[in-house]
Amino acid sequence: MSTVVLEHVNKRFGKTQAANDISFRVEPGEILGLLGPNGAGKTTTIRMMLDILRPDNGRIAIFGGPMTEEKKNRIGYLPEERGLYADLKLMDVILYLSSLKGMRKETAVTAAETFLKKLDLWEHKDKKMSALSRGMHQKAQFIVTVLHDPDLIIVDEPFSGLDPVNTELIRQMLLDLRSQGKAIIMSTHQMHQVEAMCDHIVLIHHGKIILDGAVDEVRRRFAGNTVEVSGTGPFDQLPQIQLAQHHNRTWQLTLAEDATPNDLLRELVQNDAITIEHFSIALPSLNEIFIRIVGESD
Amino acid sequence: MNKTFLVMRHEFWRHVTRRSFIFAILGMPTIMLLVAGGIILFFRGKADDPVGVVDQARVTMAPEAYQKITPDSVPFILFTNETAARSALTQDEIQAYIVIPADYLETGKVTLYHWGNVFEEVGSEVADYMRASLLADSDPALLERFRDNELDINFISLSPNGGSNSVFNIILPFIIGFIFLISIFSTSGFLLQAIVDEKENRTMEILLASLKPSQLMTGKILGLVALGFVQIGVWLGLVAAGIAIAQANIPQFEPIAFSRSAVLVAVGWFVPFYVMVAALITAIGISITAVSEGQQMVGIISISSMFPLYFTGLIIENPNSALSLTLSLIPFSAPLTMLTRSQITTIPVWQYGASWGILAGTAVLAIFLVSRLLQFGLLRYGKKLTWRETVTALRSR
């Protein structure tokens, strides 16, 4: 059973079509990257999943059906630009928000201790939120999101305000949660994190999905006619090559219009003046794909 | 545990431990007590000071004899001439002195000299002294009646709805109503601040990912109502203590007769009223981005609630008039009007039902509409909701 299913979901606010025929699925043990420029409709889509907003039409199924109060207890949500209660102590905030997820106080205290120690916040548990740094806020919010052991985790810019050490810590925790079979939806503009962590991406622009697929498949789809080669020889003088660029002992070879990677590989093998150490199809980064596809659809 | 209750408990404890709330709950009565105490001490000290008498008509009785029959009065001291009296006044030995001219029996006029402010009651003290002096040679029984000069009238009503009311008993509902209103609007400030903060920093979104908007709003509002009732409880407790102390120490202070129906109205009407106001304050909080933007709208609500005050005289004079009834049916003015009427008249049962029904219905409707508005307002962090957007939000979903 898919953890999340959206089928032909639409939502309009006045003249703005915030979600236009949105469809995708999220499976247990999968991280979905929900991508898009600012104002694309990502947050509206998340809010509809959480039942904060109702779609105008279409179907949303969470854990196999419509949202219920019991199901809300199985979801962890980390919105962007959060502040929490500045005048309350960290531990009190954690206990209050976990109680709203149906956690018993004793269980929450034990779990909170584990997470606070893991994220180096234990000694700050009795401080008011207003006394914590931005990074500490972020970690506290992350604890609130996962403390109740949710089966669906939705995180919006989870690495915002974190230093590299804490970024790695949160990243690893998310990967661990995936390996435990949790479904994770991650919305972020940090494309290298998406590339490294996500199994699947959905790119929304102007409320519409303009790209959808597994990360490797999407990168291959946008690979184009470029290969990466390392070794020795006159790579830039081969007839199948339109453009050759040399970076850090690696050649990026853009093929001529009628040439294929197979043609080039055959030529490289047969050419005695050339020795090959590495040959691969050059895959564009998700960042490049994002800029290209959003630019094209504008 | 029920999530509405969890929100209510959280909101209550969060605000009840605030320094500003503790200051509000204890600060106001403390300031009032200090001011009242200061005034009483100032005048009491001054009022007990002796009054000088320069009797050029030779009509007054000996001050010692007067003190014997009226031990509670201010002491009087005879001076042989004005110079001596003036000297005593400037040296603060007496609070004032009177000069009784030689032709007093023809004119009936005396002159009172004082320095700076004088306690107003000194006039009646002098009048009592003069009357006692003029009656000094009369029948001792007459003098005794004069000493005990309170007229004891027994009021008996021959109509079923009638009753006698002291001015204080009539004003008391307004005092109680005022306390409720002040409490409602002072604690509503906490709610407004909390709503604006939670909306702008998106804590509201985290909460709505855990519970329904109606649960969140109901919990918040009930938490605030509980907070308000703690405040009211403390204040009314202090008022009751003040009345008890006054009754024990001031013989003239009449017993307070607060009717059962008035108690019923105080609790039964102000709870839904509180809920209604809290829901409206929440709606304001959702529609704005900073507390200062909402002050004007909160002001309009509070002025509307004080509306019956402008008609106090008319309500008291004719508690069953069409105006009184109309004000009883309008949710904003119902609590104060009904509280006042219930203390001075017998209100028909249908009017109780209609007034409460409209008020409670409006409160429930307000929560329902605010829950709807919440979902739409959430999308507008950093921006105010326009009237058109508000109407759209209320009609959607």
Q: What is the per-residue burial (b if ≥16 Cβ within 10 Å, else e) of A162-171?
A: beeebbebbb
Contact B14, A85 (CB under 8 A): yes
Distance CA A72, CA A152 (A): 9
Distance CA B232, CA B183 (A): 6
pLDDT given for residue B168 in this prediction: 62
Within 8 A by CB and 6+ apart from A12, the residues are: A18, A56
Distance CA B327, CA B333 (A): 6
Contact B199, B16 (CB under 8 A): no
Identity of the amino acid at A205: H
Task: Please choose, from the candidates A120, A137, A157, A8, the residue with its C-alpha nearest in 3D space to the C-alpha of residue A84.
Answer: A137
Distance CA B321, CA B226 (A): 35
Do A50 and B209 count as a contact with CB atoms less than 8 A apart?
yes
Q: Which two tokens stand for residue A176?
A: 């661990």
Q: Which two tokens stand for residue B224?
A: 């605030």
Contact A12, A53 (CB under 8 A): no
**Is A89 an 8 Å CB contact of chain B?**
no
Distance CA B122, CA B128 (A): 10
Q: Which residue bears the tokens 């779990």?
A: A111
DSSP code, position A124: G
Q: Enumerate domains of chain B plus CATH numbers.
A: 3-34+164-395 (no CATH), 50-147 (3.40.190)
Q: How many other CB atoms are there within 10 angstroms of residue A219's CB atom?
A: 20
* A34, A239, B43 from A221: Cα distances, Å: 18, 25, 94
Do B201 and A83 count as a contact with CB atoms less than 8 A apart?
yes
Within 8 A by CB and 6+ apart from B289, the residues are: B196, B200, B381, B382, B383, B384
Task: Please choose, from the candidates B213, B393, B369, the residue with its C-alpha nearest in 3D space to the C-alpha of residue A14.
Answer: B393
The third-level CATH classification (topology) of the domain covering A4-213 is Rossmann fold (3.40.50)
List the single best residue of B20, B204, B210, B389 to mutate versus A (max A Cβ within 10 A).
B210
Do B210 and A47 count as a contact with CB atoms less than 8 A apart?
no
Chain centroid to Cα B131, Å, comes to 38
State which residue of chain A sits closest to B9, comparing Cα positions. Answer: A96
Distance CA A137, CA B184 (A): 33
Domain-by-domain residue ranges, chain A? 4-213, 224-282
Identity of the amino acid at B272: P
State which residue of chain B sits closest to A104, comparing Cα positions. Answer: B1
pLDDT given for residue A82 in this prediction: 65
State which residue of chain B sits closest to A145, comparing Cα positions. Answer: B206
User: E-assigned strands of chain A?
Assistant: 4-13, 16-26, 31-35, 57-62, 75-78, 152-156, 183-187, 200-205, 208-214, 226-232, 241-247, 250-255, 275-281
Do B197 and A83 count as a contact with CB atoms less than 8 A apart?
yes
pLDDT given for residue B195 in this prediction: 83
Per DSSP bridges, beta strands A226-232 and A208-214 are unpaired
Going residue by residue through chain A (298 aa), what tens digit of pLDDT does each one get? 899 999 999 998 878 889 999 999 999 999 999 999 988 899 899 999 998 888 999 999 999 999 998 999 999 999 886 668 888 899 999 999 999 999 999 999 999 999 999 999 999 999 999 899 989 999 999 999 999 999 999 999 999 889 999 999 999 999 999 999 999 999 999 999 999 999 999 999 999 999 999 998 998 888 878 899 999 988 888 888 988 888 888 898 888 888 888 989 998 999 989 999 999 988 888 888 888 888 887 7
**Is A146 an 8 Å CB contact of chain B?**
no
Going residue by residue through chain B (397 aa), what tens digit of pLDDT does each one get? 689 999 999 999 988 888 888 887 887 777 777 776 766 666 555 667 889 999 998 888 888 888 887 777 888 999 999 999 999 988 888 888 999 998 888 888 889 998 776 667 788 888 888 888 888 777 767 766 666 655 666 666 555 444 445 566 667 777 777 777 788 777 778 888 888 888 877 788 889 899 988 888 889 888 888 888 888 888 878 877 877 777 776 665 666 666 667 777 878 888 898 889 888 888 888 888 777 777 778 888 888 777 777 787 788 888 888 999 999 999 988 888 888 888 778 888 999 999 999 999 999 998 888 877 876 666 555 566 676 666 766 666 5
pLDDT (tens digit per residue) in B124-172: 888 888 888 888 777 767 766 666 655 666 666 555 444 445 566 667 7
pLDDT given for residue B45 in this prediction: 56
Identify all chain A residues contacting B392, using CB atoms and an 8 Å cutoff. Answer: 14
pLDDT given for residue B229 in this prediction: 83
